[in-house]
Amino acid sequence: MAGGWTADGAVQQQIDDSIKDALAKLRAQQISGPGLLNCEECSAEIPPARREALPGVRLCIACQSALE
Ligand SMILES: [Zn+2]
């Protein structure tokens, strides 16, 4: 059965790829999760409106503008 093994391998590769996609999406969701309540740099409180507008935000407005 020439080619049979190759076809099975291709299907397995597709399955592996979908698992990788699902894991990548999960990781992306974790990264863009609720974010931080306080700035990573100066520990100032990050306003709830800013956290809602920028999911996963880690810096206050001052520190973010200093970086940009
Ligand atoms: Zn800050």
Candidates 26, 28, 29, 36; CA nearest to 57 is 36
Q: 25 C-alpha to center of ligand 1: Å? A: 28
* Matching residue, tokens 């592996």: 16
What's the full length of the chain, in residues? Answer: 68
More confident residue, 20 or 25: 20
pTM: 0.49
Residue 39 dihedral angles phi and psi, to the nearest 5°: -60, 140
Q: 36 C-alpha to center of ligand 1: Å? A: 11
Beta bridge partners of 45: 38
Report the range of poorest mean pLDDT among 7-16, 22-31, 53-62.
Answer: 22-31
Q: 17 C-alpha to center of ligand 1: Å? A: 39
With 70 as the cut, is the pLDDT of residue 23 above it? yes
Longest dimension (CA), the chain: 67
Model pLDDT, residue 31: 53
Q: 44 C-alpha to center of ligand 1: Å? A: 5
Model pLDDT, residue 34: 64
In the chain, the percentage of residues whose pLDDT exceeds 70 is: 79
